[in-house]
Amino acid sequence: MYRFVPAHYVCPVEDLLNLPELNSRNIDFYIGDIDDTSVENSRKMFDFLATYGLIDNERVCPCGGQLSISRDKSAKHDLMEWRCNDCRKRGTVTKVSVRKGSFFQNMNLPIRKLFHIAAEWIENPGNSLESVAQSWGVNKNTVSELHERFRDLTHQWFERVAKDNVDFVLGGRGAIVEIDETSLFKAKHNRGRLLLKPTQWVFGMLERGTGKAYHIFT
């Protein structure tokens, strides 16, 4: 098997927006049951990811041979790896993670769990790091790093879409935009010398009557 899905199935990642709204309740329909650790369930997830360009659908080995997809139980969470048959015939082993070059590379968590943590971040942004970490059995620092990645992706998406969408532009004829800035800090037990605390300045804008807003850390 040299690709997850037929080449003509692969579509731009933006086509994800044409699917029914993805949420924590229906996401298993697309990527499989989070409690199912079978190879077949992993294949369902990778087929979905490859279809929307979230992982590579096919790969070429540095030797020039085409990599094939093989079952590999040593791939702790994925159960699959790319392997080169040409290298194997020459007595060498070339294995490449199916995550290589993707958002999921170097993340030591099941991809389904990452999706569910992302869905919770979108649906319940007020949940504490401790609560999310406990719910999904992961380290609090891991959750913090994931949330930072999610924020970066959201920012990149916003800037990309805003360039071509007038609805993302604030202001204009007859519109009033309120602008302000503030500094954020964290005081342990709500005590301490505030002027000595490290602060983060935030610049924000809000368009009256529409609810459109934007803020940036400075």
**At 29, phi and psi to the nearest 5?**
-60, -30
* Overall average pLDDT of the 98-117 stretch: 93
pLDDT of residue 186: 65
* pLDDT tens digits for range 56-71: 999 999 888 889 999 9
pLDDT band with cut points at 50, 70 and 90 for residue 189: low
Rounded to the nearest 10 degrees, what angle do helices 111-123 and 39-51 cross at? 60
pLDDT of residue 154: 85
pLDDT of residue 116: 93
Runs of H (alpha helix) within 90-218: 111-123, 129-136, 140-162
Beginning with the edge strand found earlier in the chain, give each strand of the sheet holding 177-184 in spatial order: 177-184, 200-207, 213-217
* pLDDT tens digits for range 14-62: 898 888 888 888 999 999 999 998 989 999 999 999 999 999 999 999 8
* pLDDT tens digits for range 117-140: 999 998 988 888 999 999 999 999
pLDDT band with cut points at 50, 70 and 90 for residue 98: very high
pLDDT of residue 188: 59
| Mean pLDDT of the residues in the chain | 86
pLDDT band with cut points at 50, 70 and 90 for residue 142: very high
- Distance CA(11)–CA(52), nearest Å, equals 5
